[in-house]
Amino acid sequence: MASLSYERHCAEIVAQTALLRTRIEGADVSVPVPTCPGWSLARLVRHLGEAHRTAEAAVRNGAPDPAGGPPAAGAPGYDHADAATLGAWLTEGAGRLAETLRAAGPDAVAGAAPEGTAPVGTAAFWARRMAHETVVHRADATFATAQAPGGTAAAERPFAVVEDVAVDALDEWLTFATRPEVVARLPRPADVLGPGRTLRLQADDGTPEAAPDWLVVLAPDGVTWQRPPAPAGPATTTVRGPLSELLLLVYGRLPLLGAAPGPVGGTGAVVVHGEIPPLHAWLAAAGRWHRE
């Protein structure tokens, strides 16, 4: 169950889009996006705008539109459009999606998400999915503009997510990443699953007693997760870091650079204690749901 309300998800689609738009204002949209290899900033914006329109069509029609929604035909081509044109188009699509979601209500039956990634959709599913899709692509836009020539000003505004949105996004990611069909596609289950094997994700940018904490059980017969009411005990692998960076880690935006087998590894802000190879294997397999 989502920890944010339906209305909050609708509002975040618009709010996160507005934040993303501030990252591309005046930017060269041909710059590469380091976290999406092969993509330019313009292609990233076009992808997100089409995702919003596909979701809007799924809610409005009760089925996804294979063409990506009615506005796609008039969408600016990302090879030639400028930041202002793309930003206005993105904002229009996000606003239309939020309006359609609010008009439909959370229990309205909608089209399904791509096979193997989520159950048949409801408006509530799409509101949550598109809110967090926008959050993650805002991070992508932040990295692209920060690393671009003249990106010093952007670098001074690093990516961050407010706590309740980041917590809900991690909850959603874990819900998808622990589905049976995802676990069944592990190439080498023994590399990830085992008796007593657990993974703990712990935010360290709050008070220890109130820091968001997730415990994933990587059992031979399946994977489950929970947010314990009290801080979880020791795990075979513990990943600790700022909440926003934990979110980026599970989405593959923050690789475990230099995390070789051993007792401790990480990126600097995110530190891993315990068994690192199972973490690598599980993140690679569990992250497929948002790449397919």
Residue 167 covered by a domain: no
CATH of the domain at 222: 3.30.1050.10
Q: Are 53 and 67 in contact (CB under 8 A)?
A: no
Q: Facing residues of 170 across strands? A: none
Same domain, 115 and 240: no
Instruction: Quickly list DSSP for 140-188.
Output: HHHHHHHHSTT-HHHHTS-----HHHHHHHHHHHHHHHTSHHHHTT-SS
Please identify which residue in the block is written with the tokens 């709050």. 206
**From 65-69, 91-95, 195-199, 218-222, the region with the lowest mean pLDDT:** 65-69
Same domain, 51 and 117: yes
Same domain, 219 and 98: no
Edge-to-edge strands, sheet with 198-203: 222-226, 213-219, 198-203, 237-241, 271-274, 264-266
In this predicted structure, the answer to whether residue 50 has a pLDDT above a threshold of 90 is: yes
Residue 151 covered by a domain: yes
Residue 54 covered by a domain: yes
pLDDT value for 120: 57
Largest separation between any pair of C-alpha atoms in the chain: 54
The predicted-structure confidence for 235-261, as pLDDT tens digits, reads as follows 999 999 999 999 999 999 987 644 443
What is the token pair recorded at 172?
């959603």
Same domain, 71 and 191: no
pLDDT value for 108: 93
Please provide the average confidence, as pLDDT, over all residues in the chain.
84
| Percentage of the chain exceeding pLDDT 70 | 78
Count Cα atoms within 13 angstroms, Cβ side, for 6: 15
Instruction: Quickly list DSSP for 237-274.
Output: EEEEE-HHHHHHHHTTSS--TT--SSSEEE-SSSEEEE
pLDDT value for 127: 97
The predicted-structure confidence for 94-135, as pLDDT tens digits, reads as follows 999 999 999 999 999 888 665 544 455 799 999 999 999 999
Residue at a domain's end among 124, 141, 159:
159
Same domain, 133 and 206: no
> Which ranges in the chain belong to alpha helices (H)?
6-24, 41-61, 83-104, 123-147, 152-155, 163-177, 180-183, 243-250, 277-286
In this predicted structure, the answer to whether residue 265 has a pLDDT above a threshold of 50 is: no
CATH of the domain at 81: 1.20.120.450
Same domain, 204 and 255: yes
Same domain, 192 and 155: no
Give the pLDDT band (50/70/90) at residue 68: very low
pLDDT value for 79: 63
In this predicted structure, the answer to whether residue 266 has a pLDDT above a threshold of 80 is: no
Give the pLDDT band (50/70/90) at residue 207: low
Mean pLDDT value of segment 29-40: 94
Residue at a domain's end among 159, 193, 211:
159
Residue 240 covered by a domain: yes
Neighbours of 127 (CB within 10 A): 30
| Helical pair 41-61 and 83-104, crossing angle rounded to 10 deg | 20
pLDDT value for 259: 45
Residue 258 covered by a domain: yes
Same domain, 77 and 192: no
Q: Are 243 and 207 in contact (CB under 8 A)?
A: no
pLDDT value for 226: 93
In this predicted structure, the answer to whether residue 182 has a pLDDT above a threshold of 50 is: yes
Residue 172 covered by a domain: no
231 or 100, which is more confident?
A: 100
Residue 114 covered by a domain: yes
- Rounded Cα distance between 270 and 203, Å, is 9
Total tally of structural domains belonging to the chain: 2
Residue 83 covered by a domain: yes
Same domain, 134 and 257: no
- Rounded Cα distance between 25 and 4, Å, is 29
In this predicted structure, the answer to whether residue 292 has a pLDDT above a threshold of 80 is: no
Same domain, 30 and 143: yes
Residue at a domain's end among 142, 159, 176:
159
- Rounded Cα distance between 216 and 226, Å, is 7
Q: Are 259 and 280 in contact (CB under 8 A)?
A: yes
Same domain, 147 and 242: no
What is the token pair recorded at 277?
């190879």
Same domain, 88 and 37: yes
Residue 259's domain comprises 185-290
